Amino acid sequence: MKNNFWSILSGRKSIRVQMIWAFIASIATSSVVSISIPIGLVFDVPVSVIVFIGTFAVSFMLFTRHTIKFMRTLSDGLTVISAGNLHHRIPTVRKDELGKVAEHINAMAEKLESLMEKERDAEKSKMELITGVSHDLRTPLTSIIGYLELLKEKGYRDEAEFERFIGNTHNKARQLKNLIDELFEYTRLYHSGAKLELETIDLKQMLIQMVAEIQPLAEEERIFLNLELPDRPLFMRMDPEQMRRAIDNLLMNALKFSIKPGVMRVSLIISDQSVMITVENDGQSISKEQETLLFDRFYKIDGSRSIDNLRAGAGLGLSITRGIAELHGGKAYLIHDAGHFKFGIELPCPAAFDAATK
């Protein structure tokens, strides 16, 4: 209390009080000096008055020099910032109104710098998106054009080769469609303000159905599927189409990069605070840096490892899964240990309720 009163009285937090003290000190100094001056006239004006005015002006300038200097610092700082140097900061050494002005200027510069950084990142993101899409679309499109030219010029030896060209062209066209679908889904999630169409569904039943759908493909790739589910139904409020897309991306990712023959474990785990859908498989070990990049768009560990009879992607699948999980208030994650991969989607448990409490 005492320190606060002294701070107010001394004017450390108020420039008005500082000006009053400077005025009083200048008056006192001028009075003392003028009293010591002998009586006389200069142009019919008493010398004491001239000395008083002159001493007051000099004293007031001296007593307020720090304030004026800081005001110049503010002006110079604003000039530097307005010239485009948003990294510049004004020193906040004062506690009064001018110090507050300096803090606000620094906050403004920091916000502008952040906005410009976001704008640069957005522009860079757009260019990366265009580059990545162009690269991934060009490969199957080039193959399609090549096969069509061979077919147009009848560059095949027999009926069997003709059928093979037709089949390859069809596969490349489907690959191209998958790439476009992934791109559309990604842009819808991250750039179009996607809205969920929520329904109440049995997540357990959805997983059973999805695993049954990929069973033939898993058998073809010599992957044994192990499904671990709770005993009871699990009803949740979610967008079924989007969640199917997110889970399907994890399943296809595990099928693509599993060691053959191998085992893929799909689990649905319920805890007090969350619901987790996990897909586990064994594959080639990756580095910590690669782990952090797996959910980034267009990132592929090794494109040559993609399997022909599994759909090829643009490296957007895991990024799409993360976006869908976040839209549902959850998250996507990876736990990796010496080639054992555990991808998961964690959703908040309050959205779930079982058949008994429905």
| Domain of residue 271, CATH code | 3.30.565.10
Domain that holds residue 77: 4-85
Is 75 within the bounds of a domain? yes
CA separation for the pair 210, 248 (Å, rounded): 8
Instruction: Please determine, for residue 90, whether its predicted confidence score (pLDDT) is greater than 50.
Output: yes
Question: 0.75 cut: is pTM over it?
Answer: no
Q: In this predicted structure, what is the pLDDT of residue 353?
A: 40
Is 94 within the bounds of a domain? no
Three-state SS for 212? Answer: helix
CA separation for the pair 182, 56 (Å, rounded): 78
Half-sphere exposure of 85 (CA within 13 A, CB side): 10
Express each pLDDT in 171-190 by its tens digit: 888 878 877 777 777 776 66
- Given 69, 85, 101, the domain boundary residue is 85
Is 95 within the bounds of a domain? no
- Helix residue spans in the chain (DSSP H): 2-10, 15-35, 47-63, 65-82, 97-152, 159-191, 203-220, 240-257, 288-293, 317-327
Q: How many percent of the chain have pLDDT more than 70?
A: 81
Is 146 within the bounds of a domain? no
Position 140 confidence tier, pLDDT thresholds 50, 70, 90: confident
Closest CA to 251 of 343, 180, 336: 343
- Given 64, 85, 106, the domain boundary residue is 85
Instruction: Please determine, for residue 19, whether its predicted confidence score (pLDDT) is greater than 70.
Output: yes
Is 271 within the bounds of a domain? yes
Express each pLDDT in 50-82 by its tens digit: 777 888 888 888 888 888 888 888 888 888 888
Q: Of residues 312 and 257, which shows the higher confidence score? A: 257
Is 310 within the bounds of a domain? yes
Is 78 within the bounds of a domain? yes
Q: In this predicted structure, what is the pLDDT of residue 74?
A: 84
Same domain, 80 and 207: no
Same domain, 212 and 344: yes
CA separation for the pair 32, 249 (Å, rounded): 88
CA separation for the pair 56, 65 (Å, rounded): 14
- Given 50, 66, 85, the domain boundary residue is 85
Is 171 within the bounds of a domain? no
Burial class (CB in 10 A: 0-12, 13-18, 19+), 271: exposed
Position 8 confidence tier, pLDDT thresholds 50, 70, 90: low
Give the residue-averaged pLDDT of 145-164. Answer: 83
Averaged confidence pLDDT in the chain: 78
Number of domains in the chain: 2
Q: In this predicted structure, what is the pLDDT of residue 356?
A: 37
